[in-house]
Amino acid sequence: MQDDGLAFIAIGENPNAWTSHLYDDNGQKVRPDQIVWCAFCDNIDTDDDGEHLSADDIFDVLDNKEYFGGAHVDEVLAGALAGVPLSMVSERNPSIPDTPFLAHIELKNSLMSHQAYRNYTNFMEAELAILQDLGYKIDRRNFFGYSVYGDNQTFINDNPFFGRNAEGTAYVQNKYNTATLGLGLHVYGSNNTIIQRADLLSAGAGDAGIRVDGQSNDLTILSGTCVYAAANTARIAMSLTSLKRGLSCGVASGPMRSIPHALSICGR
């Protein structure tokens, strides 16, 4: 911060692996040597030679709607969000800048967020996708069968969750997945109607069959579909505001336990 209380922030000449994946409020991908405009920035509009900056010279996050984007993130979000949202300010007090700038992931209640309330002890799938876009080698499907980040969708989920083959490239039919904190289906979005048709076989420590975090979702598990979780975890966990009409179950095995501040629901 400068003496006047404003921040002067500029993108470096060679953006690093993280910064090179950032997009501003207008969906413009970051460019080298851009000047960052934000609510608490010294939003200069001329360069050192007194020439006016063009739109291409400015990374505009005045509305704090910047995000991280990449091929793996796009695959997970499936168009539901432009990218994984970031924030320049504290969620607890939006008038306070949150340093380091352009570095804070803000998926709702996620482990990596800076929100006052977080109910995750592991990465969401979109956060794992960020690590993949940064170059880490991760078999994401070993930890998540499928994730729904969108709202107002109606669809049949035919994405299964099984154990992986030795190469980590495909599921092995009817093999139980033993990954720690594995999750067959994660519903982040709201107002969705989802019919689960594929089996979800979670058998690792801290695993769950289905977790629903959004609001007013309608989930049906077709007769004969198996949703399984290990003996000490939840086969289906739904936040207290997530259930709109009811949960219809096919075959569900494992206990009916809750995640923090959530209700675990299912029947045989």
> What residue numbers bound the domain in which 180 lies?
142-263
142 burial (CB, 10 Å; 0-12 / 13-18 / 19+) is buried
Sequence-ordered alpha helix ranges (H) in the chain: 71-77, 125-133
Determine, yes or no, domain membership for 225: yes
Count of structural domains, the chain: 1
Determine, yes or no, domain membership for 37: no
Among residues 117, 59, 125, which one has the least CA distance to residue 91? 117
Determine, yes or no, domain membership for 134: no
Dump pLDDT digits (tens) for 42-69.
Answer: 999 998 888 999 999 999 999 999 999 9
Determine, yes or no, domain membership for 3: no
Determine, yes or no, domain membership for 172: yes
Query: What sign has the CA pseudo-torsion 69, 73, 78, 83?
Result: negative
- The pLDDT confidence band at residue 245, using thresholds 50, 70 and 90, is very low
What value does the mean pLDDT take over residues 206-222?
A: 90
Determine, yes or no, domain membership for 199: yes
The whole-model pTM stands at 0.87
Q: Which two tokens stand for residue 246?
A: 């009811």
The number of angstroms, rounded, from the C-alpha of 195 to the middle of its chain's C-alpha atoms is 22
Q: Which two tokens stand for residue 184?
A: 């067959």
Residue 226 in contact with residue 251, Cβ under 8 Å? Answer: yes
Percent of the chain with pLDDT over 90: 67
Q: What is the pLDDT of residue 157?
A: 97
Determine, yes or no, domain membership for 228: yes
Dump pLDDT digits (tens) for 11-33.
Answer: 999 999 999 999 999 999 999 99
H-run or E-run covering 236: strand 234-239
Residue 51 in contact with residue 168, Cβ under 8 Å? Answer: no
Determine, yes or no, domain membership for 170: yes
